Amino acid sequence: MTHRHYAYIFALVMITLTLGACSGFDLGDIVRVKTPNTIQQTKGLPSTVTLNEAEAEYRAWFEETQRVGSQWKSNIERAGEIRGIFSQLTLSTLDQVGPTVAGVPMLSPALPAMTGLVGLFLGTGRLRKEKEASFNKGMKEGRVALPTIPSQPTTALNT
């Protein structure tokens, strides 16, 4: 084939695409996009979808993620407010009970110790999870930051 044949084929393809675009043909129906595995599992999508379908699915997924995230955030904030109310009630109760307990010689020093022990047992699970997550994150970043150590000694050191 000569250069003239290639030019004719190129012109034919361009004319076909132009006429197709004028008639409402959309190239987004031809172009395929790879779908991430997590989205495939949650939304039930195939491994590849058309560009037009991917844009629509992405918009729906993004809006749902924002909605669910804001609901979760408001639930967390509401739970924090409830915790604050309980803390205030507990502290005000201790303030009122404190002078009464102070009249009893052995109970006065035991009250802070008992509240401390209860707090120790209530917060250990959350504290352990926080420390474990922090440790794992540090180990992950440490592996990335450290250069790889050669397994064989270099000959320059042996000479």
- Sorting pLDDT into bands at 50, 70 and 90, what band is 159? very low
Q: What confidence tens digit (pLDDT) does each residue in 82-126 have? A: 988 887 777 666 666 555 555 555 555 666 666 666 666 666 667
DSSP assigned state of 103: T
- Sorting pLDDT into bands at 50, 70 and 90, what band is 79? very high
Quick check: 154 pLDDT over 70?
Answer: no
Is 1 in contact with 11 (CB distance < 8 Å)? no
Say which residue, 60 or 159, is predicted with more confidence: 60
> Across all residues in the chain, what is the average pLDDT?
77
Confirm whether pTM is higher than 0.85. no
Say which residue, 156 or 141, is predicted with more confidence: 141
Q: Which of 133, 100, 94 is nearest to 114 (CA)?
A: 94
Q: In this structure, which amino acid lies at residue 156?
A: A
DSSP assigned state of 159: -
Place of tokens 């507990």: 90
Q: What confidence tens digit (pLDDT) does each residue in 29-53 have? A: 788 999 999 888 888 889 999 998 9
**Distance in angstroms (rounded) separating the CA atoms of residues 74 and 14:** 54
DSSP helix/strand/coil, 32: strand
Is 54 in contact with 40 (CB distance < 8 Å)? no
Delimit the domains of the chain by residue range.
Answer: 26-96
Identify the pLDDT of residue 66. 95
Average pLDDT over residues 54-78: 93
Identify the pLDDT of residue 100. 54
Identify the pLDDT of residue 143. 75
